[in-house]
Structure 1
Amino acid sequence: MGISDSTYRCEKNGVLRLLAAALISEKYIEIEAGYYPSRALYSKIIKQLINGGINMEFSPELINFFNEIREFKEFHGGREIWFRGQTHDFPLNSGLFRPGKVRSLAQIKQSEKSSYRYFLSLGHPYLNGEKDWELLFIMQHHGVRTRLLDWTPALMNALYFCVENPGDQVLWLLNPSALNYLNGLGTTILTLPIDVSYEELLESTTKKFLTAAIHPVRNSARQVIQQGMFTIQGDSNVPLEFEWGGDIITRNILKKIPISKTLEQDIKYFLQLSNIDYFTVYPDLDGLSKHLNKRIYD
């Protein structure tokens, strides 16, 4: 008796538990076109099963992980929570403030002005008259280093970014309304139009950028699918977790959850069950191409 189901396949970074279950109960397995696990890998799986090396259930760690997220949301009265998944435990700096050859705040802000002006000038044929904050959102989308940091209220998308690549993975949780309250911006998430323009802040010698959470104008299918949100990094020139002397952590407005290896495998399996993959996160032809390469050839 053969099995023909795309669920039963080998992934580059692990083996689905369902595949393991199928192998232990069948004489052979039939894989749909495009999936070519080696016989050597089959043998390895069988040995792991015999030796008890593959757990057939979700770990208690995954349940505790979801409970920790639930408790964070309940702590904030059920208000909207944002997530950020990182494959590496880097500080919460936006691209503009990440370590590089430019270090002083004055140098950083001059680089920011240059990037904005060049993008507005050279990108004119490809734009539809966007400027100010809207143009900044477009710059971020296309990979320019800006003072924006990506977040999402969609947990599944954030988890995908956590485990997309190996590393010292972490999931960040943020109450965006409470973040804005810390800076005297009320208890809501900023939306356009806002009182001060980006260009005004960019050119001013007296006004400073404040760290804030903002709901952007979503200018692409990718942003819509990923439910992209941003925090604006202020002129304090420190990562978000060190703002207000770290009070944002101690007041439980911002929280970091490390992802262990056991938790990583559970999350990957959970995402597979939920049909979350590269193409669902990057819904364009480039995303489809990378998804197919990974699914068929890796």
Structure 2
Amino acid sequence: MPIPEIAIKTIGDLSREVRALAPIEKWLFRGQTDACWDLAPSVHRGYTAQQERYLTNEFRVRARSRHFSCPSSDDYPGWLALMQHYGLPTRLLDWTYSPLTAAFFSVHPDYVPPRQSIDRDACIWALDGRKLNESQGFEPLIFPLDASSYEPLVVPAFKNRDELDTVGVAMAIEHDPRIQLQQGAFTIHSSRTPINLIKGADEWLRRLIVRSEDIQGFFEELTALGIRKFTLFPDLSALTSELKSMHRPGDGCH
């Protein structure tokens, strides 16, 4: 069956639809600036399995001279989370327990890729993580990324091991203030099938669509409510980005 899809125009609409998800504590959210995109991690967008292993192992070799608190050599989940945090293509896909955070990423202009159509709709995905885990043969619970049950999903990113051809949902390990503020979680993709195309996805996925003509107003509502870049990313680069978006050349008197 097709995944249920609902158009929303305002934060009030988002709140109403989130409250309709029951029980709400089971649901995770992800914002994407294009509603046509599948739910696939970055390393599955054109990279081969061999390239993935090259990326992860090269990163491990070279990271220690650049980062003061690297994971231990055999802490594969820790390495994968660190790589994801710093933008390396991985088999992890970011989710959040906060629908407002997901909404922020779906409509903020900084996350629109170059040359992306201005007529595209944005999307906030809702995922019942426990149901997804159960459908993939795991317990109907969400464990931390370093749980032993997820090891077969993680290790093939580093070593030439057979894939389980499954997806798991894991809690993020809060090694960084950003993860805590963004209320993060991950799906771990041992399968190359996007999770919205997995059979039975309509049981644990929902799509909330922000139409192109409503994106600017939706973004302005989030800003008015204090959902801004520097509140989610507590660092100087985010503060700089936020100030530049608020004060553009030519604004005001000189």
| TM bucket, shorter chain | 0.7 to 0.9
Give CA-to-partner distance per residue, 1:75-130, whole Å, 9 cap, x none: xx3333111111112111100111x3x4xxxxx22111111110110112225341
Q: Distance in 2 between matches of 1:200 and 1:234?
A: 8
Are 1:282 and 2:238 counterparts?
no
Are 1:225 and 2:225 counterparts?
no
Q: 1:176 to 1:224 in 2, by over 3 A?
A: same
Q: 1:201 to 1:275 in 2, by over 3 A?
A: closer
| 1:158 aligns with one of 102, 105, 117 | 102
Identity of aligned residues (%): 24
Q: Which runs of 4+ in 1 moved over 6 A?
A: none
Q: 1:280 to 1:196 in 2, by over 3 A?
A: closer
Which blocks of at least 5 consecutive residues in structure 2 are unaligned? 1-7, 110-117, 250-254
Are 1:82 and 2:33 counterparts?
no
State the match for 1:94 in structure 2.
41
Q: Distance in 2 between matches of 1:207 and 1:157?
A: 32
Contact residue 196 and residue 205 of structure 2 kept, 8 A? yes
Q: Distance in 2 between matches of 1:272 and 1:196?
A: 37
* Structure with greater proportional helix content: 1
TM-score (norm 1): 0.69
Aligned residues: 224
Q: Secondary structure at the match of 2:34?
A: coil
Contact residue 97 and residue 147 of structure 1 kept, 8 A? yes
Give CA-to-partner distance per residue, 1:23-82, whole Å, 9 cap, x none: xxxxxxxxxxxxxxxxxxxxxxxxxxxxxxxxxxxxx953444322222x22xx333311
State the match for 1:68 in structure 2.
17
Contact residue 57 and residue 158 of structure 2 kept, 8 A? no
Q: Distance in 1 between matches of 2:78 and 2:17?
A: 35
Contact residue 169 and residue 259 of structure 1 kept, 8 A? yes
| 1:137 aligns with one of 81, 92, 110 | 81
Q: CA RMSD in A?
A: 2.1
State the match for 1:113 in structure 2.
53
Q: Distance in 2 between matches of 1:129 and 1:65?
A: 39
State the match for 2:132 in structure 1.
179
State the match for 2:148 in structure 1.
194
Contact residue 201 and residue 208 of structure 1 kept, 8 A? no
Q: 1:205 to 1:163 in 2, by over 3 A?
A: closer
1:193, CA displacement in angstroms? Answer: 3.1
Matched letter for residue 148 of structure 1: L
* Structure with greater proportional strand content: 2
TM-score (norm 2): 0.80
Q: Secondary structure at the match of 2:126?
A: strand
Q: 1:183 to 1:291 in 2, by over 3 A?
A: same
Q: Secondary structure at the match of 1:150?
A: strand
Give CA-to-partner distance per residue, 1:271-297, whole Å, 9 cap, x none: 123111121122100000111111112
Q: Distance in 2 between matches of 1:61 and 1:119?
A: 42
Q: Distance in 2 between matches of 1:186 and 1:284?
A: 37
Q: 1:196 to 1:228 in 2, by over 3 A?
A: closer
Q: Secondary structure at the match of 2:51?
A: helix
Which blocks of at least 5 consecutive residues in structure 1 are unaligned? 1-59, 103-107
Q: Secondary structure at the match of 1:203?
A: coil
